[in-house]
């Protein structure tokens, strides 16, 4: 009688305690030698048996189907199948006499009612084990996610810390991830340009290759970098340290969803997209002359503007913009004085806000208790269904309103400080913007302008108006040497 040896080892976690394939083969070959079995062929497979479709297993069954009277030598019947499709195929081959017997480490199964019943029972038990394990793994993963722990391999920019079983920042790649979001959020860089820029700066995959467009798109779509984990469409607040703010993530999503479109066609020219014609309102375009000089002029999109003939050099426009950026300079000493005054003012106003927030939280807790009592009353049959539903809807609506109120109060409690810090930071940046702009590379100039400028207008080779975004628009309107009261009001 010829024997076919089948050894299987799954790479999945539920079978880590099963003997390795070499160990199984050693034990099975020892049985064959002791019993005098003739081994015709050995089949080895590293694949889970929880679903049908194993190629090596199917190859073995095809061989058995073509022959007559083969026997199988396996470590245990669960090596053959942990699903009912494969298990049924084995039993059918035994019924047809294609498999004479199945010898395992513990016993031998033949074409008898008792043996086939025992095999079907073992196949069913193996199937239940897999199903139970799947449920337990999903339940465990859900609990981990609720605790804020990630369940998969760390995304690009993070690393899995095996010692603490947590996600930690990859100090080498994390700065590149931040830069991807920052560049894309300006609306001035296409994804292809971002990949090329970062590759030139040294960004590589773990295998030393370039990160291509699909990799950058995957990073931009992930909420993980702002501290929010997502699994099966459900989001959870993560314990890992975010690389970017939620605001930056949402801004990139808006651009990705085409609510704000990156201007890919004009990216080769530093000032394209920031200047329009003062006479007709059309865009200002650029072209290179004499192989190295860049000049800007009106596109004359409406066909009636004479400004197309006025060519202005890029260098001259940079000088005019830098000169206008001088408006953003305010005394550093005055900025520090006003900053401290605003902090003191905020400290005095916090008491009443804290009191209102505490009252709102108590009211929400009281509503929760009311809802619990209402449910108890309904389950005891002391209130009819119609009245129960009306009261429940009333409580739920009030809970929503209170929750919204609490969020607004919490935001109000933290937002003034964040606003003060933001304006203080912007004032400091504005103080040195003119000098930094002159010395910056073209790509850095575009980044600065995207943050500061709203739009500027060009007429007769000169910039006649520079419009700033908030809060720089306020800084630009401030008096040359503002007093303390003027600064405080602004």
Q: How far apart are CA 225 and CA 219, in angstroms?
A: 8
Q: What is the tens place of the pLDDT at every residue in 67-113?
A: 777 899 999 888 999 888 999 999 999 998 899 999 998 899 999 99
Q: How far apart are CA 427 and CA 170, in angstroms?
A: 32
Q: What is the tens place of the pLDDT at every residue in 425-452?
A: 667 777 788 888 888 888 788 888 877 8
Query: Which parts of the chain sit beneath pLDDT 50?
Result: 13-17, 259-267
CATH 3.90.1750.20 fits 158-262, yes or no: yes
Fold observed for domain 2-145: Rossmann fold (3.40.50)
| Residue-range domain boundaries for the chain | 2-145, 158-262, 266-350+401-490
Q: What is the tens place of the pLDDT at every residue in 227-284?
A: 888 888 778 888 888 898 888 888 888 888 754 444 444 445 788 778 888 888 888 8
Tokens of 191: 């994804």
Q: How far apart are CA 254 and CA 246, in angstroms?
A: 12
- DSSP 8-state symbol, 225: G
Rounded to two decimals, what is the model's pTM? Answer: 0.46
Residue 230, SS3 per DSSP = strand
Question: Burial code of 230-247, b = ≥16 C-beta within 10 A, e = fewer?
Answer: eeeeeebebebebbbeee
Average pLDDT, the chain: 81
């Amino acid at each position: 009688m010829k024997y076919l040896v089948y050894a299987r080892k799954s790479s999945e976690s539920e079978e880590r305690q099963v003997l390795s394939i070499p160990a199984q083969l050693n034990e099975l070959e020892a049985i064959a030698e002791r019993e005098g079995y003739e081994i015709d062929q050995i089949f080895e497979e590293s694949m889970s048996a929880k679903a049908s479709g194993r190629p090596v297993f199917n190859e073995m069954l095809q061989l058995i189907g073509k022959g007559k009277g083969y026997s199988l030598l396996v470590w245990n019947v669960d090596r053959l199948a942990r699903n009912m499709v494969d298990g049924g195929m084995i039993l059918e081959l035994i019924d047809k006499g294609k498999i004479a017997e199945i010898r395992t480490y513990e016993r031998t199964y033949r074409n008898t009612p008792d043996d086939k019943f025992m095999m079907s029972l073992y196949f069913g038990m193996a199937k239940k084990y897999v199903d139970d394990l799947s449920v337990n793994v999903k339940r465990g993963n859900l609990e981990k996610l609720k605790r804020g722990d990630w369940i998969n391999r760390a995304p690009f920019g993070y690393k899995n810390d095996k010692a603490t079983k947590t996600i930690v920042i990859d100090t080498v790649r994390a700065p590149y991830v931040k830069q991807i979001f920052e560049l894309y959020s300006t609306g001035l860089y296409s994804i292809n340009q971002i990949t090329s820029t970062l590759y030139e700066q040294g960004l590589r995959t773990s295998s030393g290759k370039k990160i291509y467009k699909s990799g950058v798109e995957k990073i931009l779509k992930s909420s993980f970098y702002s501290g929010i984990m997502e699994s099966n469409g459900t989001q959870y607040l993560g314990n890992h340290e975010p690389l970017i703010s939620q605001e930056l993530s949402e801004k990139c999503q808006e651009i990705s969803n085409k609510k704000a479109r990156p201007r890919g066609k004009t990216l080769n020219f530093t000032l394209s997209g920031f200047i329009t014609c003062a006479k007709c309102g059309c865009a200002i375009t650029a072209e290179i002359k004499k192989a190295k000089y860049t000049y800007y002029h009106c596109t004359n999109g409406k066909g009636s503007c004479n400004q197309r003939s006025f060519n202005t050099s890029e260098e001259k426009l940079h000088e005019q913009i830098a000169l206008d950026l001088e408006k953003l300079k305010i005394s550093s000493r005055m900025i520090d004085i006003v900053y401290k005054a605003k902090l003191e003012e905020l400290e005095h106003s916090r008491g009443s806000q804290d009191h209102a927030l505490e009252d709102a939280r108590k009211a929400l807790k009281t509503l929760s208790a009311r809802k619990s009592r209402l449910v108890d009353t309904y389950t005891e049959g002391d209130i009819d269904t119609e009245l129960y539903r009306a009261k429940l809807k009333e409580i739920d609506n009030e809970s929503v309103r209170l929750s919204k109120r609490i969020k607004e109060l919490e935001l109000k409690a933290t937002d003034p400080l964040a606003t003060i810090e933001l304006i203080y930071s912007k004032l400091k940046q504005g103080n040195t913007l003119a000098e930094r702009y002159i010395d910056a590379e073209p790509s850095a100039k575009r980044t600065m302008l995207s943050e500061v400028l709203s739009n500027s207008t060009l007429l007769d080779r000169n910039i006649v108006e520079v419009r700033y975004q908030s809060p720089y628009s306020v800084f630009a309107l401030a008096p040359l040497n503002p007093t303390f009261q003027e600064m405080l009001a602004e």
